[in-house]
Amino acid sequence: ITADDIPDTEIEGYTFDYWKIGGQQTQIKDWVDYEVKGSVQVLAYFKINTYKAVFYAGEGAWLDADNNPTIKSVTLEFDYEAEITAPTSNPVLTGYHLDPIMPWGEELGYMDIEDVEFYANWKPNTYTITYVVEGDSKEIDLKYGQKLQLADGVVTDDTVKPGYTFSGWTADGGTTVVA
């Protein structure tokens, strides 16, 4: 038998590893002339391919060993047709969180026959601001980075208390702003 006598040995997602002839333990990597002395079974052995899934943090980062956000991507390897799983820790970005429904912008799915990339799907955090004037309160929600507009029907700098001059807002350490 020569290599020309052997059928195609390609299987998607796998790489040919070696041949075995009959029940022999001998592995044959490359065919040289093999003398046939009777009926034999030639078995092809394959190993599964491994591909990379790269997760990019975008504007965020994963924490390094010193707890600093410096790692911009994480690469994981998966066997062909294995379920892709996200890194065990999430990247961080001040004022943002990963979208709880689609944190990597798309379904992770199963590994195909090529490397894949995923990108963090950041959503701004929402904060509740509570205004308190003379015991009356009103709440508004603001997204991270959004500017606080006091004239949006909540209260204004013209808020007056008889006998006092309005001098500004103070925060009680939480999300309550008190006049």
Model pLDDT for residues 94-149, shown as the tens digit of each residue:
999 999 889 998 889 999 999 999 999 999 999 888 877 777 777 888 899 887 76
pLDDT value for 129: 81
Q: How confident is the model at residue 17 (pLDDT cuts 50, 70, 90)?
A: confident
Distance CA 69, CA 1 (A): 60
pLDDT, the chain, mean = 82
Distance CA 32, CA 8 (A): 17
Average pLDDT of the segment spanning 148-155: 59
Q: Phi and psi at residue 114, in whole multiples of 5°?
A: -155, 160
The number of CA neighbours under 13 Å toward the Cβ of 68 is: 2
For 113, residues 6+ apart whose C-beta sits below 8 A from its C-beta are 12, 13, 49, 51, 80
The two three-digit tokens of residue 150, written as one number = 């006091």
Segment of 5-9, 88-92, 135-139, 141-145 carrying the highest mean pLDDT: 88-92
pLDDT value for 44: 82
Among 134, 145, 132, 146, which residue's Cα sits nearest to residue 175?
132
Q: Which amino acid is at 174?
A: G
Q: How confident is the model at residue 31 (pLDDT cuts 50, 70, 90)?
A: low
Q: Flag whether pLDDT at 156 surpasses 80.
A: no
- Percent of the chain at pLDDT exceeding 70: 72
Q: Which of 6-20, 32-46, 95-109, 148-162 has the lowest mean pLDDT?
A: 148-162
Average pLDDT of the segment spanning 152-168: 62
pLDDT value for 179: 47
Q: What is the pTM of this model?
A: 0.73
Segment of 7-21, 23-37, 80-94 carrying the highest mean pLDDT: 80-94
Distance CA 56, CA 59 (A): 9
pLDDT value for 27: 66
